[in-house]
Amino acid sequence: MMLWLAAACLVAGAWCLKIDRQTAAYLREHLHTPPLQFAWRITNWAKGLPWIIASFVLYAGVEAAIAVYGTTPLLRQTADYALALLLSFAAASVVLHGIKIFLGRRRPRDDYEHGLYGFRYFTWELQYDSFPSGHAMTIFCVAVVLCAIVPALSALWLLLAGGLASTRVLMTAHFASDVLVGAAVGILVTREMMLTVFPGLTPGWF
């Protein structure tokens, strides 16, 4: 399922390249509507650093508890899920930032402020960092791990992740294709991390 979802995000992202400018221009004209104001309030819930810190603190805290009080299946599993998320963040970030550096896409603000749009391939300039979205990557890494923890709520985790990732488009911080491809990176890398390193924690339908 996760493989098909990632593929769907990639296909949708490729299609959105055709309408990115028009979508961003429309949203820019409506930044003060209530849905966009709400997006501004919740968008940082998908920011990477707080999730990285939280997963690290959880992992370190549980490992400390195991060292002091001994292990239990629940403690071991909790530590492993936290570690899986940390490793997924690390691996996905390498992939994501590699793509950013190679493709060098301008942000939407460059278009509406200076009339500059598009990719600057192989320029190695870090300011051209729109594609893919790191927020989308982060929150989909979280969602995939949550799907492994509570599979019955998989649709909810993925919908929440999609909603948070979409705030980047609503705010014109990213183009729609940036977010969809960022989501695909998060899903694919986390899926492979779970299947390869933590197969015992991974549902068969992944």
Confidence of residue 35 (pLDDT cuts 50, 70, 90): confident
* DSSP character at residue 122: T
Q: What angle do CA 76, 82, 88 make, to 5 degrees?
A: 130
Model confidence pLDDT, tens digit, residues 160-202:
999 999 999 999 999 999 999 999 999 999 999 999 999 999 9
Q: Say what the pLDDT of residue 120 is.
A: 85
Q: Say what the pLDDT of residue 112 is.
A: 86
Closest by CA to 98, choosing from 198, 192, 181, is 181
Write out the two tokens for 11: 């296909």
- pLDDT at position 122 over 90: no
Cis-peptide, bond into residue 35, ω within 30° of zero: no
CA distance 177 to 182: 8
Write out the two tokens for 201: 């924690």
CB 49 within 8 Å of CB 26: no
Model confidence pLDDT, tens digit, residues 79-111:
999 999 999 999 999 999 999 999 999 999 888
Q: Say what the pLDDT of residue 44 is.
A: 92
Strand-pair partners of 30: none
Count Cα atoms within 13 angstroms, Cβ side, for 198. Answer: 27
Across 101-127, average pLDDT = 85
CA distance 18 to 8: 16
- pLDDT at position 124 over 80: no
Across 43-67, average pLDDT = 96
CA distance 89 to 183: 12
* DSSP character at residue 106: P
Q: How far from 8 is each of 15, 164, 179, 184, 185, CA to CA, in Å?
A: 11, 18, 13, 8, 12
* DSSP character at residue 46: G
Q: How far from 63 is each of 69, 82, 85, 150, CA to CA, in Å?
A: 10, 10, 15, 22
